[in-house]
Amino acid sequence: EVQLVETGGGLIQPGGSLRLSCAASGFTVSSNYMSWVRQAPGKGLEWVSVIYSGGSTYYADSVKGRFTISRDNSKNTLYLQMNSLRAEDTAVYYCARVLRVAATGGWFDPWGQGTLVTVSS
Amino acid sequence: QSALTQPRSVSGSPGQSVTISCTGTSSDVGGYNYVSWYQQHPGKAPKLMIYDVSKRPSGVPDRFSGSKSGNTASLTISGLQAEDEADYYCCSYAGSYTGYVFGTGTKVTVL
């Protein structure tokens, strides 16, 4: 069964750092495009970052320079390192596999259950 | 990158059809045939319903259909059922550097 499980969320003070993990089963992370999407409380979905199978990474302007997406092939796990956290980063963070036919585009499936990050003093 | 525009809410009685619009620009919806739609029930993770504008994953009922015209994509739910009551989000690819952009979300209410 294809599954994603996020961990690492919690309460963190503004300016702090946190690393989220997303353990995959049923498929190989390094052979796929993988992404992070977040959802602030009561708000809509916001794309955060993507890592291509070749290793290229891209970020939303709102997190560029503060967040880093990476993966550990030996652990089949995706990560999101979040630095200089702000109150507006408070959200449920989902990881998702990006399926696609061409080299670009794609759709998100499946999604993990999400992990809540709360940035507050 | 601004969010794609969706109506805040739509509603219909069981058995009726509802259509949700998703309006973007020529840099996202209008520029690529990479529009997907997601269903989200309260407290749950989003679920893929439509990909590549109009393709339906296995397991998704055929009463869900997608289309696109210019800068606007649409999701139609035919034969509305109680379990279809949820939030729906569109998403479009917007180029390598911009990545992906989601819609503002639409709450579907079954009357």
Mind listing the pLDDT tens digit for each residue in B15-31? 999 999 999 999 999 99
Q: How many CB pairs under 8 A join A and B?
A: 71
pLDDT higher than 90, residue B97: no
Place of tokens 């520029």: B31
Using one digit for the tens of pLDDT, what is the confidence trace for A35-70? 999 999 999 999 999 999 999 999 999 999 999 999
Residue of A nearest to B101 (CA): A47
Question: What tokens appear for B38 in the block?
Answer: 């997601």
Residues near A121 by beta carbon (within 8 Å), at least 6 away in sequence: A13, A14
pLDDT computed for residue A103 by the predictor: 78
Rounded mean pLDDT of chain A?
96
- The span from the CA of B1 to the CA of A120, in Å, is 26
pLDDT computed for residue A65 by the predictor: 97
pLDDT computed for residue B1 by the predictor: 78
Mind telling me how many Å the CA of B13 is from chain A's nearest CA?
Answer: 25
Confidence of residue A11 (pLDDT cuts 50, 70, 90): very high
Contact B102 A104 (CB under 8 A): no
Contact A104 B57 (CB under 8 A): no
pLDDT higher than 90, residue B96: no
- The span from the CA of A112 to the CA of A95, in Å, is 6
Q: Please check whether residue A11 touches B, CB under 8 A.
A: no
Contact B38 A60 (CB under 8 A): no
pLDDT higher than 90, residue A105: no
With b meaning 16 or more CB within 10 Å and e meaning fewer, what string describes A1-33? eeebebeebeebeeeeebebbbbbeeeebbebb
* CA within 13 Å, CB half, A116: 7
Pairing relationship of beta strands A107-111 and B9-12 according to DSSP bridges: unpaired
Place of tokens 């507006």: A88
pLDDT computed for residue B63 by the predictor: 97
pLDDT higher than 90, residue A104: no
Select from B52, B25, B49, B27 the least CA-distant residue to B39. Answer: B49
Q: Which residues pair with A111 in a beta bridge?
A: A96
List all residues of chain A from 34 to 63 with a beta carbon under 8 Å from chain B: 35, 37, 44-47, 49-50, 58-61
Nearest CB to A109; choose among B48, B100, B104: B48
- The span from the CA of A109 to the CA of A66, in Å, is 26
Question: What tokens appear for A46 in the block?
Answer: 């916001």
pLDDT higher than 90, residue B37: yes
Chain A residues whose beta carbon lies within 8 Å of the beta carbon of residue B48? 107-110
